[in-house]
Structure 1
Amino acid sequence: MTTMTATEVTHGPLRSTMRASERSEEDRRADFRVVAKAVRDAGLLERTVGFYAGLMVILGVALVGLLVGSFLLGDSWFQLLIAGALGIVLTQIAFIAHEASHRQVLKSGPANDRLGRILAAGVVGISHQWWMTKHSRHHANPNQIGRDPDIEIDTISFLPSDAKKARGLQRWVTRHQGWLFFPLLTFEGANLHVRSIITLLERRPVVGRWIELSLIAVRFAVLITFLLWVMPPLMALAFLGVQLAVFGIGMGASFAPNHKGMPTVGRDAKLDFFTKQVRTSRNVRGFGMTALLGGLNYQIEHHLFPNMARPHLRKASDIVRAHCATHGIVYTETDLVGAYGAVVAYLNRVGLAARDPFDCPMLDKRR
């Protein structure tokens, strides 16, 4: 279990009317029912189709505007500014695809799936089905060892047991992974595309395999053809590099603050739904965070009510926070800087497990 950083605020024990340890198992099981009723009574599970329609129009206009701007610029290295802006817009579109996969946008499940597939595969270039499968497992078991795919070893190790296995260059990366976290995110955009395609080509049943492969292929063919049409090949390659780097940072920096550095759960641990979702999640407070992070700043509420539309999350957080304060349940929120600081510190602590057993920490400090 990890501890909260100094910049994080935990609501509950200091202002509670009942100590968390004094609550019975029945009381804990009732937490979600009580909060869910208050949320339903407040109408916070209603769809906000108008909000998403307006947002998609704005992003669509921005996307077309960037393509027109790129065409007018032609052979100019200012194209890299447009590439960066395109990475930001695609990140925002990916947020809507994520919300559609949670059935937050439209009223029917199939309609949400169609929208999510078109936005994810056809516009962003990522497999909707791959994301759905992976992300559903994460929501069911956030930060649970052996069950949450988001804490499985990748370039970065999220658990000391995985960090100990690192060898060679991977060991060096793991030892410094906290400080390398944001630089490594520049490769995350390319990683998301590659993983999507690999998943779609696996020898197992994949829903919508050929539809998504076709959408992704057409998307990349159109983008690359357009770039080669309006600029020299070297500049087109640089354009793609910048766009992918900004997209990777945008995606990784939006999802990382949600759970990294929060308590982990043993593989066989049995927790009630409310406790598991609240204790393993972190909210990010601050002006403009909902727009910047696509609603992921209300991670606690998103995990409790994954089909809740983005505009309702703020009001839901008031209800959940008040319930946690009343019953002594830890409710963690911090600002964006504090969240990133907690993530970097946690990854560095995990990375210590990859230290050479013959290293002397005191000598390392003097080097």
Structure 2
Amino acid sequence: MTQYLELAKAVNEAGLLRRRRGFYWTLIIGGALAVAAILTGVALLGDTWWQLLLAALLGVVVAQFGFLGHEAAHKQVFDSPRWNRWVGRFLAGLGTGLSYAWWMDKHGRHHSRPNQLGTDPDIESAVVAFTPEAADRRTGLAAALARRQGWFFLPLLLFEGWELHVASVRTLTTRDGMRQRWPELALLTVRHVAYLTFLFLVLPPGLAVAFVVVQVSVFGFLLGGAFAPNHIGMPIVGRGVTFDFLRRQVLMSRNIRGGPVVHFFLGGLEYQIEHHLFPKAPRPNLPKIRRTVRDYCRRHGVSYTETSLVQAYRDLMGYLNQVGLKNRNRYTCPLVREYRA
């Protein structure tokens, strides 16, 4: 913890944890205007399958609202925790159709112990086996599919948006003790009813259904695709294993190199190591924090993983295939090989 406190002091003294409200208001207002423009285009374009291009574009914008809701949940946007909570709730409910409370619970557990068995919900799935132990429990068709799950992973992301919507509604309607359950249910109801009513009023039923399918699929693909390369294929921590905070967050995370296009589509999550070390740091400050963290890790001998998006997905897919084959000895993550050696 001493090393982390030293690093945190350097980042704080450099002013890199200050809020960037102008940046976030620009994105929020710009996103709302983009949605209005797209829906206006839908109304004007009428009965044509070119509408599906607008559906894909709307999926891109909704994914951006997902990133903004994620940042508000981490209190990156405002100084006031209350402002962050309620703006995050509106961005999640109205912007993406997801439950803020469900996301906070799930994502908070992930941040506290990333890639740790029995703790991180992001490595628990009924569809994808993220660990050899999970692959061992698969039988029959599930086991056969798991052996090739790396190749199936990208197509599966097209269903991520649907799973997120279902999990949000299921959690809000069945789990006891959810904070702000009724306001969130109201936001989700208003959002979904208004959206579907609009589409079925201005488009033929078949085209309206296709529009929703494309929009939700693109949204899920982009959102899931932005989170997936950050930890999959990095070391899995056994139950009860402890690390100091700095190594827990750095060793289990992967940064992605790239320019403005990568930055846009990953919503700043390409700086995953810095985000895990300083979850309240605003997105525009992460590149500067990266330089400080990378130099600090180099000086103290802490492995810092950074690669291209293509290579990250190669590692991810290769790891998932090896897990599916129950092959523990050919685990290709360089960091795992280093620590096992």
**Normalising by the residue count of structure 2, what TM-score does the alignment of the two structures yield?**
0.94
Q: What is residue 145 of structure 1 aligned with on the other side?
A: 117
Q: Deviations over 1:309-351 (max 9, x none)?
A: 0010000000000011111110000011011111111111111
Structure 2 residue 310 is the aligned partner of structure 1 residue 302: no
Q: What is residue 330 of structure 2 aligned with on the other side?
A: none
1:205 is displaced (CA, Å) by 0.6
Question: How far, CA to CA, are the matches of 2:311 and 2:257 in structure 1?
Answer: 10
Structure 2 residue 198 is the aligned partner of structure 1 residue 226: yes
Q: What is residue 331 of structure 1 aligned with on the other side?
A: 304
Structure 2 residue 265 is the aligned partner of structure 1 residue 292: yes
SS of aligned partner of 1:281: coil
Q: Deviations over 1:211-230 (max 9, x none)?
A: 11111111111111111111
Q: What is residue 364 of structure 1 aligned with on the other side?
A: none
Unaligned runs of 5+ in 1: 1-28, 355-367
Tell me if structure 1 keeps the 8 A contact 2:148–2:324: yes
1:153 is displaced (CA, Å) by 2.4
Structure 2 residue 244 is the aligned partner of structure 1 residue 247: no
Q: What is residue 316 of structure 1 aligned with on the other side?
A: 289
Tell me if structure 1 keeps the 8 A contact 2:222–2:265: no
Which amino acid is 1:33 matched to?
L
Tell me if structure 1 keeps the 8 A contact 2:11–2:17: yes
What is the percent sequence identity of the aligned residues? Answer: 50
The more displaced of 300-309 and 290-299 is 290-299
Question: How far, CA to CA, are the matches of 1:102 and 1:203 in structure 2?
Answer: 23
Q: What is residue 188 of structure 1 aligned with on the other side?
A: 160
Q: Deviations over 1:166-196 (max 9, x none)?
A: 1233222211110000101111100000000
SS of aligned partner of 2:153: helix
Q: What is residue 44 of structure 2 aligned with on the other side?
A: 72
SS of aligned partner of 1:334: strand
Unaligned runs of 5+ in 2: 328-341
Q: Deviations over 1:197-240 (max 9, x none)?
A: 01011241100111111111111111111111111001111111
Q: What is residue 206 of structure 1 aligned with on the other side?
A: 178
Question: How far, CA to CA, are the matches of 2:139 and 2:54 in structure 1?
Answer: 39
> Larger RCO: Structure 1 or Structure 2 (Cα < 8 Å, ≥ 6 residues apart)?
1
Question: How far, CA to CA, are the matches of 1:61 and 1:249 in structure 2?
Answer: 23
Question: How far, CA to CA, are the matches of 2:274 and 2:263 in structure 1?
Answer: 13
Q: What is residue 127 of structure 2 aligned with on the other side?
A: 155
Question: How far, CA to CA, are the matches of 1:173 and 1:252 in structure 2?
Answer: 20
Decide which structure has the larger Cα Rg and report it: 1
SS of aligned partner of 1:187: helix
Within-5 A mapping of 1:170-181: 170-181=142-153
Q: Deviations over 1:252-280 (max 9, x none)?
A: 11000100000111111111000100000
SS of aligned partner of 2:326: helix
Question: How far, CA to CA, are the matches of 2:140 and 2:215 in structure 1?
Answer: 31
Q: What is residue 140 of structure 2 aligned with on the other side?
A: 168
SS of aligned partner of 2:32: helix
Q: What is residue 324 of structure 2 aligned with on the other side?
A: 351
Question: How far, CA to CA, are the matches of 1:154 and 1:339 in structure 2?
Answer: 23
Question: How far, CA to CA, are the matches of 1:234 and 1:130 in structure 2?
Answer: 32
**Normalising by the residue count of structure 1, what TM-score does the alignment of the two structures yield?**
0.87
SS of aligned partner of 1:284: strand
Question: How far, CA to CA, are the matches of 2:139 and 2:213 in structure 1?
Answer: 29
Question: How far, CA to CA, are the matches of 2:244 and 2:263 in structure 1?
Answer: 28
Q: Deviations over 1:42-88 (max 9, x none)?
A: 00010000000111122112111100000001111001000000100
SS of aligned partner of 1:181: helix
Question: How far, CA to CA, are the matches of 1:195 and 1:273 in structure 2?
Answer: 30
Structure 2 residue 136 is the aligned partner of structure 1 residue 131: no
Q: Deviations over 1:263-299 (max 9, x none)?
A: 1111111110001000000000111232221110000
Structure 2 counterpart of 1:93, from 44, 65, 70:
65
Matched residue count? 326
SS of aligned partner of 1:186: helix
Which amino acid is 1:69 matched to?
G
Question: How far, CA to CA, are the matches of 2:120 and 2:44 in structure 1?
Answer: 46
Q: What is residue 187 of structure 2 aligned with on the other side?
A: 215
Q: What is residue 272 of structure 1 aligned with on the other side?
A: 244
Structure 2 residue 54 is the aligned partner of structure 1 residue 55: no
Question: How far, CA to CA, are the matches of 2:263 and 2:24 in structure 1?
Answer: 14
Question: How far, CA to CA, are the matches of 1:284 and 1:31 in structure 2?
Answer: 24
